[in-house]
Each structure stands twice: as structure tokens, then as C-alpha cells.
Amino acid sequence: MGIEKHIKVTGRSTISWKDATVKTLEEVAKTLDYITSLKILDQRAKVTVNKMTEYYVDLDITFMVDQSR
């Protein structure tokens, strides 16, 4: 039987929401094993002088629990 666990993380980028998602997943993967999926929960942006300057994403990261530990 496999057990999945979920964590919620927020990432940001000055390029795009996609870049924020990719960079956040890369960072999470450095410290978390057995990632199986992610879900984008929310997207928002910081606006400065009528331009989007920072992109934020809230992600639900799913990973398998290592039961052999």
C-alpha cells in the first residue's frame, strides 16, 4: 500500500508563472524524495507602475512516503 503526503509551497519569479512553478519544483526536489505530482492552487502577480513585476504560485506537492524507513 502506498501512502501519499501533500505539502503546500509558494514560489516566485520575475519572469512568469511557469518559471515560478518550474523553479519551485526544482528547489523542493532538492530536499524531498519521491515527488509524484503537483497541483497549481493559485497564481497572482505583483504590479508596479502598471506592469507585472513578480509572479507567485501556490503549489500542492504530492510525494510518496518511504515506508522502508
pLDDT digits (tens, 9 = 90+) for 13-68: 999 999 999 999 999 999 999 999 999 999 999 999 999 999 999 999 999 998 77
Cell of 52: 507585472
Domain of residue 29 covers: 4-64
The CATH number linked to 28 is 3.30.1660.10
Amino acid at 32: L
**In contact, 1 and 55? CB cutoff 8 Å:** no
Rounded CA separation 58/12 (Å)? 9
**Per the domain annotation, does 14 fall within a domain?**
yes
**Per the domain annotation, does 55 fall within a domain?**
yes
Pairing of strands 4-13, 51-64: antiparallel
Which residues have CB under 8 Å from 60's CB, separation 6+? 6, 7, 8, 38, 39, 41
pLDDT tops 80 at residue 69: no
In the chain, how many domains are there? 1
Predicted TM-score of the model (pTM): 0.89
**Per the domain annotation, does 69 fall within a domain?**
no
pLDDT at residue 1 in the model: 65
pLDDT at residue 25 in the model: 98
